[in-house]
A and B are shown apart, each in its own frame.
Chain A
Amino acid sequence: MPEGILETHQALGEITHIVDPAKIVEVCRHFKHEEQFNRLSAVTAVDWHPAEPRFEVVYHLHSTSANKRLRLKCRLASVKDGANPEIESVYSIWRSADWFEREVFDMFGIRFANHPNLQRILMPLDWEGHPLRKDYPVHGYKYSYPDQK
């Protein structure tokens, strides 16, 4: 087991490793090169607002040669003054991380350091806020009521 794995869970036949966010690139490199996880199937995040650590970044790995799947999770605490939390990008290991991480940035406002092109992908470029955060409303539009700004 590589350094940086804090806990390991197994539930419903799926293995989850909780990874130290500072070590995510080393852990991913280990799984790609030592354990043949040649595909990064998906990257997403979960917002546990108002609990802390608030965000979980979830990586789904897949090995086509060994036919195995693995889930890696990093817990990120929210940053004071509304700044975005940050984690290292895994683009240098799998290029599929490009759009997956852009989507997570767009929807959750989690920044990925050393990402080649970290900008919004689904929402308009000038959109304010990150829709999949739990404190973002499901219905309504911020300018629906003229007296409210």
Chain B
Amino acid sequence: MKRSLDLDPVATIPAEHVEPATPSAPRLMTLNMGPQHPSTHGVLRIMLELEGETIRKAVPDIGFLHTGIEKQCEALNWQQVTPLTDRVDYLANLSNNLVYALAVEKLLQLEIPARAQWTRVMMAEFSRLNSHLVWLGTHAIDIGAMSVFFYCFREREEILRIMEMFSGQRMMTSYIRIGGLALELPRGWQEAVGKFVRTFPSKIDEYENLLDSNPIWKIRTQGVGFISLEDMLDMGVTGPMVRAAGLALDCRKTEPYSSYDKFDFKVPTRTENDVYSRYRVRLEEMRESTKLIQQAMEGMPEGPYLADAPHVVLPDREKMKTQMEALIYHFKIVTEGFRVPAGEVYQCVESPRGEIGYYVVSDGTTKPYRLHMRTPSFANLQCLGTLLKDILIADSIAALGSMDFVLGDTDR
């Protein structure tokens, strides 16, 4: 007797309704994946055309999280835009704060004090760790390794506590502002950061042991999800996916910003160009980020955390009580906002996902005339059709996870 699994499901349909499959024209099935599929990490919808279990065509459908942030930015003044940039890529919010602040400071031609620059590096690396930890945990869950998630979120909690210590907020920190930082570094930050830096490398080894000694993880990831480097560059992909294909493309090295050139760190690359090598690249990046945080902590310069620009930066509360100019500047910045000279600038920053580029156009008023966010998730998702072509549907979950996209970052 035949078991039910061996039966052709199409055989139960009356024969006159079924077109026979031929080798030249195989029978294709269209499957709708998402927008609420758990492995799409948000609301991504993919239309798959399947031949058996093999994907022949994958068409992503995005826009479910579109909130019109670019349009809203045009109605707010320059400083008010900062909290919105947090909400673009909610896992790496400080990279978004940083790129916006750098772009506007370039237009204003502001000189940022060393202490603020080094703190920016430290916080941007914390947000990279935060993002990679969420990625590693959820990617492992997608593939079936449940426990890694709990280990990753244990360390993420420590990072969120440090973020809260610095800014008062766990996730939407808005800590990096135009002209410097939101707040002076909190009392006792060296102990909190030092404790984290001392313990975290052993935690990375722990994740590595958990996953690399798991044969299922290796079988599910090695040799899966290949896409050629030429295709990726042509389709605008950046970040760990390109680095896992052997190209050390990293804005922190090639176009250093915010004193990254004064730090000693490596850009990890691999050449296998599969899901496993993307995992290795991100794991090494976590190690490098920890080193960067340690260097920033040990070499933190003394000095002010805000630029010497009274027309941009809010004055000290004490000065407002004694100096007329400070009070006038405070009134002007709060009521109207500061003016930014007319011009345009494209600033890029290496986020955990790749190149974030903000194209800022000013017409000399207190509001951005145009702010275009070139987000890495949007550009990286373009290669989805090529990445998923001709692989098994089960492997598509691993391949999707290895891209590490955030749908808020995609749809803006």
Contacts and interface: CB of A to CB of B under 8 A. Distances in A.
A46 interface: yes
A46 B63 contact: no
Given A12-B345, A39-B236, A44 B63 contact: no
A95 B231 CA distance: 9
Contacts, number: 92
Contacts of A123: 63, 66
Q: Interface size class for chain B?
A: 35 or more
B80 to A, nearest CB: 13
Q: Interface size class for chain A?
A: 35 or more
Interface in A59-86: 60, 64, 67, 69, 71
Interface in A103-146: 103, 107, 120-124, 131-132, 136, 138-139
B66 A122 contact: yes
B233 interface: yes
B167 to A, nearest CB: 28
Interface stretch (B138-146, B208-216, B247-255, B319-327): B247-255
B346 A138 contact: no
A7 interface: no
A144 B33 CA distance: 34
B75 interface: yes
A6 to B, nearest CB: 17
B374 A41 contact: yes
Nearest to B67: A122
A139 B234 CA distance: 37
Contacts of B382: 95-96, 98-99
A60 to B, nearest CB: 6
B280 interface: no
A31 interface: no
A4 B409 CA distance: 35
B72 interface: yes
A28 interface: no
B255 A67 contact: yes
A124 B369 CA distance: 25
A12 B62 contact: no
Nearest to B375: A42
B379 A46 contact: no
A136 B70 CA distance: 13
Contacts of A120: 63
How would you classify the secondary structure of chain B's contact residues: helix, strand, loop or mixed? Answer: mixed
B37 interface: no
B262 interface: no
Contacts of B379: 42, 96, 99-100
A14 interface: yes
Given A39-B236, A100-B236, A58 B343 contact: no
B346 A69 contact: yes
B74 interface: yes
A39 B233 CA distance: 6
A9 to B, nearest CB: 9
Interface string B351-389: 000010101010000000110101000110110000000
B106 interface: yes
B359 A44 contact: yes
B169 to A, nearest CB: 26
Contact of B343 (A11, A46, A64, A124): A11
Contact of A96 (B72, B236, B412): B236
A138 B72 contact: yes
Contact of B247 (A40, A64, A69): A64
Contacts of B68: 131
B165 to A, nearest CB: 35
Contact of A67 (B254, B361, B372): B254
Interface of B: 62-63, 66, 68, 70-72, 74-75, 106-107, 109, 231, 233-236, 247, 249, 254-255, 343-346, 348, 355, 357, 359, 361, 369-370, 372, 374, 378-379, 381-382, 411-412
Interface of A: 11-12, 14, 16, 38-42, 44, 46-47, 58, 60, 64, 67, 69, 71, 94-96, 98-100, 103, 107, 120-124, 131-132, 136, 138-139
Given A11-B343, A95-B234, A122-B411, 11 more contacts: A14-B346, A38-B234, A42-B359, A46-B370, A60-B374, A67-B255, A96-B382, A100-B236, A131-B68, A132-B71, A138-B74
8 contacts: A12-B107, A12-B109, A16-B344, A41-B374, A42-B357, A64-B233, A132-B71, A136-B71
For the complex of A and B, the 7 pairs showing the least CB-CB separation, nearest first, are A96-B236, A42-B374, A44-B372, A122-B63, A122-B66, A138-B75, A46-B370
